[in-house]
Structure 1
Amino acid sequence: MRFRDRADAGRRLATLLLNYGGHDTRVFGMNGGGVRVAYEVAQALGAPLELWVSRLVEVPVQPGSRLGAVAEGEGFFLNAETVRSVDVPASQMTQWMDAEAGEVALEAQRLRGGHPRMEPGASTAVLVVEGIAVEDLRVYAALRGLRRRSPRKLVLAAPVAAGEELERLRLEADEVLCRHPVWALLTVEHAYDDFHGLPDIEVRQLLDRARERRPGREVPGAEVAGEWL
């Protein structure tokens, strides 16, 4: 299965989540293309949409080596294998993680444009990502950040994902849903015909549009950065 673009992926993914429509559900799109996918899910469910930022933390002294990831909500995930292999003090690793946490806060502020963050509260929180490749540590950190905000239920939803990661992620979420699981997925873009980078302005427009319109209601002529909503 291939998806035409993120909007197509979101509409197909939404069919797996219809049981959550009409309930106290809040949809969180992970930064990057996840917001575009999540927009379609939120509209189909009649649920509010929010951004959830997560970033990788690399080891400066070993380019390409992933120490872990940090996310909003004080979500932290460490790659145990990397921690064992890097010959630096734990305090140095903490500094690297803290520095990236600061970048997470700045990115979230920039993309929300001054709007306060919507919290999961006592709702069902659905984290939507554009796909899950092998060892995508950002997803783990994002789930942990949302979990710390005490949602009633935490759901992870992805259009496409590596099967081995889905099994591991079942330990982090109450439910994991995937439209197209595959045995191995090294790069998410291979599942899309159109996988252009999502500019900040498009993310902000999607979030603004979701705030302004009643979820599920069609707005003729609504357009975001060249893509029909």
Structure 2
Amino acid sequence: MFRDRIDAGRQLSEKLMKFKEEDVVVLAIPRGGLPLGAIVAKTLEAPLDVALTKKIGHPSNKEFAIGAVSLDDIVLTNTMGVTQGYITEETKHIREKLLKRHDEYYKKRLPQNVKNKTVIIVDDGIATGNTLLATIELVSKQRPKKIIVAIPVAPNSAIKKLENTQKIDEVICLQVPYSFQAVGQFYEDFYQVSDQEAIQILEEANTSVKTNL
């Protein structure tokens, strides 16, 4: 059990210290991954950026991911009984939201160049791993040196799915509980991170990196 995302971020940072001497870029999954990503980035003295992806929910249960979408890619799983029309419409709506978020996050800066760098993808936890798969597809096209996935908690099924993805070099997870229903059950405080807070975290983290250079 983690007190909050700050606690989880600190614990995760300890496991990632071995990457401090590498050329690292931390990519957080917004919005919940940003408080953790900021701590990891500060600890490793690395820039922080966001990985813009969003899950496609099942038509009868939006919380159940049948895949995930980024601005450039789509990964689909568990689509039995789901029409192509639904997938097309959902993809369109999701990309409209991602584009809006992209414009908000990059008002004052450009995305980080991850080519030949160690990319550490951080989230506050994962349930199925499907959203991360789209992120990994997107990041791998930018030809990083290696891709590390770092999360506080996930079920064993999701960890195995990620470990079977050849594009990931390492998966670091603090807790792999036997009984897993939702990420939030492993946090005492799992408040929703707002867009305003996410933007502020991102700006402050990168101001700090510039100051330290």
CA distance in 2 between counterparts of 1:119 and 1:76 reads 21
Query: What secondary structure is seen at the aligned counterpart in 2 of 1:77?
Result: strand
Q: Which residue of 2 aligns with 1:225?
A: none
Q: Which residue of 1 aligns with 2:150?
A: 157
Amino acid at match of 1:27: V
Count of residues in Structure 1 that have an aligned counterpart in Structure 2: 209
**Any unmatched runs of 5+ in structure 2?**
none
Amino acid at match of 2:175: H
Q: Which residue of 2 aligns with 1:201?
A: 196
Q: CA RMSD in A?
A: 2.1
Query: What secondary structure is seen at the aligned counterpart in 1 of 2:15?
Result: coil
Contact 2:129 2:159 in 1 (8 A): no
CA distance in 2 between counterparts of 1:99 and 1:112 reads 20
CA distance in 1 between counterparts of 2:200 and 2:87 reads 36
CA distance in 2 between counterparts of 1:144 and 1:216 reads 32
Pairing of 1:124-139 with structure 2 (within 5 A)? 124-133=118-127, 135-139=128-132
Question: CA offset at residue 216 of structure 1?
Answer: 10
Which of 96, 101, 104 is the equivalent residue of 1:107? 101
Amino acid at match of 1:76: I
Which of 66, 81, 84 is the equivalent residue of 1:85? 81
Higher CA-based Rg:
1
**Any unmatched runs of 5+ in structure 1?**
218-229
Query: What secondary structure is seen at the aligned counterpart in 2 of 1:182?
Result: coil
CA distance in 1 between counterparts of 2:162 and 2:208 reads 33
Amino acid at match of 2:207: E
Question: CA offset at residue 131 of structure 1?
Answer: 0.5
Deviation sequence 1:158-184 (CA, Å, 0-9, x none)? 011111110111123111001112124
Contact 1:71 1:101 in 2 (8 A): yes
Contact 1:42 1:48 in 2 (8 A): yes
Q: Which residue of 2 aligns with 1:47?
A: 46
Query: What secondary structure is seen at the aligned counterpart in 1 of 2:134?
Result: helix
Contact 1:164 1:184 in 2 (8 A): no
Deviation sequence 1:48-90 (CA, Å, 0-9, x none)? 1101121112355x45364321124x232102x32x322x3x4
Contact 1:34 1:130 in 2 (8 A): yes
Q: Which residue of 1 aligns with 2:186?
A: 191
Pairing of 1:1-150 with structure 2 (within 5 A)? 2-60=1-59, 62-64=60-62, 66-72=65-71, 74-79=72-77, 81-82=78-79, 84-86=80-82, 88=83, 90=84, 93-133=87-127, 135-150=128-143
Matched, 1:181 2:176: yes
Query: What secondary structure is seen at the aligned counterpart in 1 of 2:154?
Result: strand
Contact 1:164 1:183 in 2 (8 A): no
TM-score w.r.t. structure 1 length? Answer: 0.83
Contact 2:66 2:130 in 1 (8 A): no
Amino acid at match of 1:198: V
CA distance in 2 between counterparts of 1:176 and 1:204 reads 27
